[in-house]
Every structure is written in C-alpha cells, then in structure tokens.
Structure 1
C-alpha cells in the first residue's frame, strides 16, 4: 500500500520505517527541511537501537523516501498517518493539538479519492471527531475515513515493539476503514498479533488509560520504597512478592527517581485535564502526577543527605542524564530535577551519559560534561546513578575510589547490592532498601 507519514519525529519515523520494512511504499514527510535532508543522507536525528540500519536498508530498496512536499505526496496515498507532536499546552496542561489540526487542514486540501486518515499522535478523546470536522469543512468533497491508531512504542525498544506488539488498537467509525487497516497491518496479523477494533473514541482513551495505569504502578512502588526505608523492608523483595501475583505482574515495579520521558508526564496530565473538562475527575491520576513531580526533587535532597547534608562547594558526579537507557531523550528526565536541586544547594555537577549529553546541554544550565564515568567521578564528593545504562552496571569501584574525593555512591536505580559496594570502602545509599 502507498502510505504517507506526516511527521518524521520519533513515532512517525519508527512507524514509517517499519511499515516500509513490511513491504509498503512509505513516504515520511516533515516540514523541517534540515531533518529531511539529513534523513536522505542517512543521518538519523534520534537515537534508537537498530533504526539507522533499518532506514538505510529500506531507503536503498526504494520502499522508503523522505519529502517536505505534502501537496505532492497526499493525492497518491491510500493511507495517511498523522504522527506530529502533541506536547502539553503552556498554561493549562492540555494536549496542544494545533499541529494535528494544521496537518488535517493541509491534507484535506490535497485529498484525491477515498483515503484513510489515521491519527497516530497521542490525542485526547474526541480529537478524531474534530479532525474529521476540520477536513470536511476544508474540503466538503473529500472521501475520507478518520481512524485512531495509537502507538505503544517504548523508547530504546521501539522497533521490536512495533514488529512484535502486544496488541494493535484501531478505532473506526467508518466500516470502510476496517479492510484498509487490516491490510496495513496484515504482516503482523499473520503472526497472530491481535488487532483490536473499537470505536474511535474508545481507541483514543485506551492509549491514555494504558499510560496512566503504568505511571500509577511506578508511583505506587516508589511510595512503597519510601515506606520500606522507614520500616526496614526491602522494596525489591516487596516488588517481587507482589509481582508474582498474576493479577499484578512484575513489570513497572522497579523503584527509582520517578518517571519521565515523552509520554507518561504529558499523557497523565492530559488525561487529568480531559477528565476535569468532562466533570469526571480521575483523582488517582491527579495524585500520581503530584507525587511523581515531588519525587524527582526529593531525590536531590536524598543525594544531599548522603553527601553529608551540605553540598555547597562540593562536586557531585551524575551518571545517566536521559529519562531511561537506550535513548537520547531528555524530556522530563528525573536527572533534570536532581541536578537542579543539587545546583540550587550550591554544588557543582559533572555529568555523563552515553547518548544524551547533546540534548542535556539544551535543558540543564551550568552542567559540566565528562567523557566517561571515571572522568565524571574525578575529584567528586559523591557519585549518583540516575539512569541505568548497562555500562554503569560493572563499574570498577577501586578505580572510582582512587579518583574520588569522597567514596560515596547514591544508586537511584538499585543496580548494585550494598555489600558489593561497601567492601570497596564506599558509603552506599539506594532506594527502598535497608542501609
């Protein structure tokens, strides 16, 4: 099938490349000419394992191309995906849908023949209705079916998630779209990936409800971690004990400094705002948002306490800046709040991240960057692990102790055992475990 992907950001690029890898003819379209030129030259604007190789292979095959010319791409397309950003709107926290609606207007002006318009962007309930209204108002003769098809991609594992999904949710209000969307996902359907057809509004809510529930699990175990520290219990064993219950499951029960990233923070907030607008407040999610925001800053205070209660004039080394490993995404990363809390308390912060330092430089002021973990730790009064990159899981503690001013490790991801660290002469602080 001929597919156009509007938006060559994270979701659009990964989805477009994977569709091309299935054998579809895909054009990834974006208004950013520099981004498109870079993609044509084989330079990928984001870090995602395996993506560069997949782009190169499908571009070479002719199934994948890149363009800035919407008027040229749209008329020949059978399916058009809208995969533009929906950031939190300044001032009120609602999802900013201006990019989605602008795309709908531009697409409508160039539609030719029956076309399925698919909203891949994460959008509140009712957005598909408005997209359809805008397109019919712009072009009353347009023969369209508007579909909701939310994405469920984890950064760092997006390609595998796309090709081996737990489910594919497709919201339709026009039965003509069912056959088209089944054909789009036919390669996955043959591998028994479940296609869940719902109404459009139901599909839109599934995305928000799913992310909110996962955010709630993270926040729950983080609060249990705080309680464990007070009563002398071990949060990792608590998580395992409840996670073995099939009704609960073990995923997203890893205590840490709070959730971040491109999805959970903005999606939970957007769900709260949508629920308030419909006079059906979601009190649990409101609390999740509040607790998570407070937790990130509290982790800064935890580091200060571990460093002796006063970090003014001290140097703190931070390992891991991105919100999770295997990505360069800094959006709402817990590291931002931790570092700002340390800087506000008078500390000099030196940081290292395998992929995120370029992006970190745009969001964290006065952060000194190091070329590796040992350079970051050189002369430091404490070392903090904020993001659990694999290369931080086997640090040489004798080497670290030799270069650090004070052998203090604050492990905000619980990737080490206390005994394995303290035997090297370190003071060790973790999350939700007895010290």
Structure 2
C-alpha cells in the first residue's frame, strides 16, 4: 500500500519505518523543514533502539521518503496516518490545534477511497469531529478510523512488529479489512485484531495508560507505607505478584512515572470525566500520588543533610524518565535537580542518552559527566533511572572517589544488606535504610 504519515515525531517515525519495513511505500510528512532535511540525511532526531537502522535500511530501499509537501505525500496515499502532537493544555485536556490544522490541510488532496487514521492519542469524539470536518471540506463522507498506539519507549520497534493486540475503531467493516491487511505481517502469531467503534478505540488508549499509571502509583504508595512500618516492599511485591489476578508488571516501586504518555493521558482522561459530569476520584489520586512521589528522594536528602545543601555536591545517575530513551518529559530527575539547585547544591549528572536534552533544558546549571566521573567529590549519589549501566558499578572505586559514601537509590537497583557490607549509607524506596559507614570500606564482593 501507499501510506502517508503526518508527523515525524516518536509515534509517526516508528509507524512509518515499521510499515515501510513490511513492504509498503511510506511518505513521512512534517512541517519542520530542519527535521525533514535531517531525516533525508539519515539523521534520526530521537533515540529509540533500532530505529535509526530501520529508517536507514528502508530509505535506501526507496520505501521510506520524507517531505514537507503535504499535497505530494497525501494525494497518492491509500491510507493517511495522523500522528501529530496532542500536548497537554493548561486545564489538563489535550490540545488538538495541530490536529485540526492537519485535517484542513489534507482535505483537498484526499483520494475518494482513502482512509484517514488517527494514530495520535486523542480525546473521545475526535474521530467524529474529523469525520464531520472532512465532510464539510470535501462535500463527501470520508473513511476515518482510529488506531491507537501502544508503544513503550525503549521497545517501540518490537512492540510494533510483535504487538500483543491491534485495536481499530471504524464505521464500516470494509475499512477494518483494509487495516487488517496492512497489519497482517505483524499478526502472524495469532495476536488479536480487535475491531470496535471509533469512540471505544479512543477510550481504550486512555484506559490502558490510566490503569498502568494506577498500578505504579499504588505500589509507590504502598512502598512509602512499608518504609515507615519497617516492611520491605520487595518482599511484599513478591508476595502479591505470584497471585495470577495481580501479576508483577508495573509493580516496581520508584520515584514516579514520567514521559509523554502517562502524565498527559491521566490528566486528559480526568478532564474528559469532568466534562461529562463524572468525578474521577481515582484518576485524581493517581496523579497526586505520582507528583508527590517525584519528591521522595528530595525528602530523604533533606532528612539526611538538612534543607540547606550549599557546599554539597550531589551526583545524579539517570536523567531520562526511563531507560532506553532520551526522553526527559516529566522526568523525576529534573524535579530533583531543580530542588537541589534551589538549595545551593552542585549537581554532577550522567545519562547514557539524555544529556543533550537536559543541557537544552538546564544549560550549564549542572555539570555533565561520564558515569564514574560524576561521583568525584560527591557527598551523595542519587539514582533516578534504571539504566543497565548502573546495575554493576565498581563499588570499591565509588567509595574511593566519593566524598561521602551515601546513596539514594530511587530504583532499588541494589540489595540493602550488600550495600551495608560494602560500607555505604544506603537509602532506597520502600525498604529500611542501612548504614555501613562504620564497617570496613574498600572491599569488593
């Protein structure tokens, strides 16, 4: 098929590259001329494992092209995917101004048999409005489908190529057949292709993200309670996770969720609930718990050092909101760093991928370092992202280069008792702190 993808951000670029890789002719369209020129040169503007190679391979094969010319990209297309940004507005609802602009721009160039598909996360009723707008602009009823994405940053290619399900919302069964044909190369393992109404498909995306966010906020709240009552959240997690009704996924305590999806989608669903006369008590609580959890390490730091950190040097490992991405949107690390700077601390930070994005946000307010270099002269280390780079450091070297052997682990990467024996004062999430500073230091395990 001939496919046009409007928007070459995270979702659009992954969608376009993966569809091209299954043999389709894909044109990615974006109004950002610099981004399009970079993509034509093989420069991918985001870090996502495997994406740069996939883009390069399919561009060289002639199946993936990039343009700013909406008319040229849309006119020959069988299917047009809309993957534009829907950022959070001031009231928490999704800002759809870019979506409406795109719908108006593509309308004059649509073939009569073309299918327009929303891939962006949009409020319930957006599909219906696009349908009405295209009828007004073209004078005919156009096929408009909803096909929400369920991609995890850091594993987006695999999620697209091997989906656990594909959800489409359509008005006509013939449109579902077209989309099922398009997805057939990715559904060979009998994973379900689920057809529903556009409204249900739009709702499915929000409900999925809200439920996952709920699990994260729940385990974080229970972790904080465990810590105050002398329990160990890791033991509790094992105790509940083996219950088949509960499972282990998304039950890892930490410093809160971030990124472009969970925070925005929980707030958008909250706004939609209010607009329809519902009181979204659980959603409000999920967001409140998560925002509070982003301050859990700062509270531990203040309890340990006091609120005035002037003269203290704090190392931060992990800036992205999760591993395997350079995305710092709503990242807990930024909340902590800003808190540290306000209290006069010097910050030395490391991240395998996100340093350029943080530098664009914070400038030279902090020092950007190699992993072990960040620890030099540090009075404490704070771990915010569970990159594999941090799982097995040289603990003896850490003791040697740090000014004080104090670790605030926001991702529970290490075993508490081993950290005590290694000579660290170790604070984690949902577990009692340990202090091994009186033990013999410098030994290896």
Q: Which stretch has the larger CA shift, 185-194 or 49-58?
A: 185-194
User: Could you report, residue by residue, the CA deviation over 1:337-366 in whole angstroms, capped at 9, with x for unpaired residues?
Assistant: 111122222211111111001111233355
- Contact kept in structure 2, 1:300 and 1:339, CA below 8 Å: no
User: Could you report, residue by residue, the CA deviation over 1:409-428 in whole angstroms, capped at 9, with x for unpaired residues?
Assistant: 11110000122222232111
2:431 matched to which residue of 1? 433
Secondary structure of the 2:75 match is helix
The 5-angstrom pairing of residues 210-225 of structure 1 reads 210-225=208-223
- Alignment of 1:48 with 2:22, yes or no, is no
Listed as ranges, the gaps of 5+ residues in structure 2 are 434-445
- Alignment of 1:26 with 2:26, yes or no, is yes
1:76 matched to which residue of 2? 76
User: Could you report, residue by residue, the CA deviation over 1:39-75 in whole angstroms, capped at 9, with x for unpaired residues?
Assistant: 1111110000111111111111111111111111111
Q: 2 CA distance for matches of 1:155 and 1:202?
A: 24
1:63 matched to which residue of 2? 63
Shift in Å at residue 174 of structure 1? Answer: 2.4
User: TM-score when scaled to structure 1?
Assistant: 0.97
- Contact kept in structure 1, 2:307 and 2:343, CA below 8 Å: no
Q: 2 CA distance for matches of 1:401 and 1:338?
A: 23
CA RMSD of aligned residues (A): 1.3
Shift in Å at residue 273 of structure 1? Answer: 0.1
Q: 2 CA distance for matches of 1:364 and 1:218?
A: 28
Shift in Å at residue 198 of structure 1? Answer: 0.5
Q: 2 CA distance for matches of 1:4 and 1:309?
A: 54
2:136 matched to which residue of 1? 137
Q: Which stretch has the larger CA shift, 292-301 or 328-337?
A: 292-301
User: Could you report, residue by residue, the CA deviation over 1:101-130 in whole angstroms, capped at 9, with x for unpaired residues?
Assistant: 111111112112211100000001001011
Secondary structure of the 2:422 match is coil
- Contact kept in structure 1, 2:297 and 2:408, CA below 8 Å: no
Q: 2 CA distance for matches of 1:242 and 1:434?
A: 20
Secondary structure of the 2:42 match is coil
Secondary structure of the 2:348 match is strand
Q: 1 CA distance for matches of 2:432 and 2:366?
A: 32
Q: 2 CA distance for matches of 1:364 and 1:244?
A: 43
- Alignment of 1:311 with 2:312, yes or no, is no
Secondary structure of the 1:152 match is coil
Match of 1:346 among 344, 347, 356: 344
The 5-angstrom pairing of residues 21-420 of structure 1 reads 21-89=21-89, 91-141=90-140, 144-307=142-305, 310-364=308-362, 366-420=364-418
- Contact kept in structure 2, 1:307 and 1:381, CA below 8 Å: no
- Contact kept in structure 1, 2:163 and 2:187, CA below 8 Å: no
Shift in Å at residue 373 of structure 1? Answer: 1.9
- Contact kept in structure 1, 2:74 and 2:110, CA below 8 Å: yes
Q: 2 CA distance for matches of 1:282 and 1:365?
A: 38
- Contact kept in structure 2, 1:104 and 1:135, CA below 8 Å: yes
- Alignment of 1:9 with 2:9, yes or no, is yes
Q: 1 CA distance for matches of 2:362 and 2:199?
A: 38
Listed as ranges, the gaps of 5+ residues in structure 1 are none
Q: 1 CA distance for matches of 2:94 and 2:357?
A: 23
Q: 2 CA distance for matches of 1:392 and 1:30?
A: 37
Q: 2 CA distance for matches of 1:239 and 1:163?
A: 31
Secondary structure of the 1:76 match is coil
Q: 1 CA distance for matches of 2:91 and 2:368?
A: 37
Q: 2 CA distance for matches of 1:342 and 1:430?
A: 18
Shift in Å at residue 367 of structure 1? Answer: 3.5
Q: Which stretch has the larger CA shift, 176-185 or 44-53?
A: 176-185
Shift in Å at residue 160 of structure 1? Answer: 0.4
User: TM-score when scaled to structure 2?
Assistant: 0.95
Q: Which stretch has the larger CA shift, 424-433 or 357-366?
A: 357-366
Q: 1 CA distance for matches of 2:409 and 2:253?
A: 11
- Contact kept in structure 1, 2:355 and 2:368, CA below 8 Å: no
- Contact kept in structure 1, 2:328 and 2:354, CA below 8 Å: yes
Shift in Å at residue 310 of structure 1? Answer: 4.3
Q: 1 CA distance for matches of 2:305 and 2:387?
A: 23
* CA separation of 1:185 and 1:146: change in aligned 2, threshold 3 A: same
